[in-house]
Amino acid sequence: MDILQICIVIAVLLLLVKPVGSYIYHVFSNEANRTDKIFGPVEKLFYKIIGLKNRSGMSWKKYALSMIATNMILVAVSYLILRLMGGLPVNPNETGNMEASLSFNTVISFMTNTNLQHYSGESGMSYFGQMIVITMMMFTSAASGLVIAIAFMRGITRRGGMGNFFEDFVKAHIRIFLPLALIVTLVLVGLKVPQTLDPTVTVNTLGGTVQHISMGPVASLESIKHLGTNGGGFFGANSSHPFENPSPLTNVIEILSMWTISAALPYTFGRFAKNRKQGWIIFSAMMVLFVAFLSLTYFSEKSGNPLINQLGINSSQGSMEGKEVRFGVAQSALFTTVTTAATTGSVNNMHDTLTPLGGLAPLAEMMLNVVFGGKGVGFVNMIMYAILGVFICGLMVGRTPEFLGRKIESREMKLIAIAILAHPLIILAPTAISFMTHLGTDAISNPMYHGLSQSLYEYTSSAANNGSGFEGLGDNTVFWNVSTGLVMLLGRYVSIIALLGVAGSLSRKRTVPETIGTFHTDTKLFAGILVGTVLLIGALTFLPVLVLGPVAEFLTIK
């Protein structure tokens, strides 16, 4: 039954990939289509409001600068709101102002699509903050990531500009995220997820005590939280909370919400490249990696904890520590794998309580950051590895490497090297620093190997813009707020700038004619090379620290 549940969800995803990928292509291809009659007038109104008269294409530098400038303006406004939150309206529970370092961490977290939360949503954020800051940035950060992927696709498949950021940004909101969020919100409300502005409900319990039950505009936040691969929860318990995720059906809806757009982007890429097989090859490589990590998580959790098994406790259901009974091992393992593959960060079980190898899988997915990934960034990273794989193959046969008919030369490889090296650097260096000061070690709640995994997971989640955590870590301190905030900034924008530079460079090159020696990138052979390249680079950079953490913990309890 467990395997059947998982297979059904994957089958539904496969059915959605082609129509969703085609729809995204039509939205951003700038070709006339039937949706123009519905959304065109609304978009023109927004273009008029923001003063966008000239929608001509931008260079990669202008596109990147426009995205970063827009993001930073929203960060500044959001920071002020959080610092003044206690005196602002729509605050029936009288939540106070947020502390400075926590405000810094929160606005960076949500603007970079990370949604790492060092606060508990129901007590640390007013309704105004949840709607105007958190929900707003869930839309804008997701739109920013998606349009970067679209600009990248244009750059490597066409000659000329990358498109216009502001036009793409408006389209992403009007044609994709807002309508989808409205639909998912209504579905969740129908499935008993709260959507209200009423204050905390006070009830008398059967035991004669008084209990305060937090409510709020939960469904609207949940919809964009998953559609935008954001992950920040309205409640501290995130999607394990019964108000955020009350049933197995809502669990499946949330899984598909956070997975579908990311999984559809390779097909969109195939449409832009006018070679749909190319898109399916990229998708296949991602799915192979996903199934491998899902299998590791599921079978590790199903086997249970060896230490508990030695006590003679019946663990026939697997390791249920930190999991909700309504989901069980199968839906918990699937949710864990999807949320770290799609870099969403929402959780329906506590990752800190996963078995050592069960915890290794989400760690590895975030370290690779290519297994579908968030809104566009994972796809862009996978194409980076595709170009690297082509480059390696070209060197092996003594031929100038080509990707989609364009030569890969030193400029592109230097930018790719920056992106590849920056990711492990901003994970491993801060992790090492955290163990060199009591400011870091004081937050660790577990000794030995699991303590290393807690710190490593926090920085890996920040660098991959994921946001989930080993919540045994006491991370709401100035040290962790500032350090993870900086890692989130670097993790988001360094790779985006470098890889847009790659796309900009390729867009200026002429297509070279295909010859008998051309290495085709739309074959099963290339899919294998791509998977091998990802695993090889990942092992070289992260295997030593994984051995010190989850692998050592597994061998110890075994």
Residue range 176-193: mean pLDDT, rounded: 96
Q: Using CA of residue 33, residue 35, residue 41, residue 46, what is the dihedral sign?
A: negative
Give the chain's domain count.
1
Is 514's pLDDT higher than 80? no
Amino acid occupying residue 157: T
Residue range 436-464: mean pLDDT, rounded: 93
In a domain, 76, yes or no: yes
Task: Please tell me which of 84-88, 314-318, 400-404, 486-490 the model is most confident about, judged by mean pLDDT.
Answer: 486-490
In a domain, 555, yes or no: no
Task: Please tell me which of 80-89, 152-161, 516-525 the model is most confident about, judged by mean pLDDT.
Answer: 80-89
> What is the pLDDT at residue 519?
84
Structure tokens belonging to residue 496? 């985006």
Crossing angle of helices 377-397 and 276-303, in 10° steps, is 110
List all residues 6 or more positions away from 552 whose beta carbon is below 8 Å from its beta carbon: 449
> Which domain covers residue 210, as residue numbers?
2-272
> What is the pLDDT at residue 315?
67
In a domain, 80, yes or no: yes
In a domain, 104, yes or no: yes
List all residues 6 or more positions away from 288 whose beta carbon is below 8 Å from its beta carbon: 527, 531
| % of the chain surpassing 70 pLDDT | 99
Question: Do the Cβ atoms of 461 and 487 come closer than 8 Å?
Answer: no
The residue whose two tokens read 């004081």 is 442
Residue range 47-63: mean pLDDT, rounded: 89
Tens-place pLDDT, residues 234-264: 888 899 999 999 999 999 999 999 999 999 9
Residue range 130-147: mean pLDDT, rounded: 93
pLDDT class of 336 with cuts at 50, 70, 90: very high
Tell me 275's DSSP state.
-
User: Does residue 51 or residue 160 have the better pLDDT?
Assistant: 51
> What is the pLDDT at residue 416?
95
In a domain, 516, yes or no: no
| % of the chain surpassing 90 pLDDT | 71
Q: What does pTM read for this prediction?
A: 0.94
In a domain, 453, yes or no: no
Residue range 105-126: mean pLDDT, rounded: 90
The residue whose two tokens read 């091998």 is 532
Tell me 92's DSSP state.
T
- Distance from CA of residue 57 to its chain's centroid? 28
End-to-end CA distance of the chain: 28
Spatial distance between the Cα atoms of 411 and 409, rounded to a whole number of angstroms = 6
Structure tokens belonging to residue 309? 């098994």
Tens-place pLDDT, residues 453-490: 999 999 999 999 999 988 788 889 999 999 999 999 99
Is 308's pLDDT higher than 80? no
In a domain, 129, yes or no: yes
Is 304's pLDDT higher than 90? no
Structure tokens belonging to residue 343? 């870099």
In a domain, 34, yes or no: yes
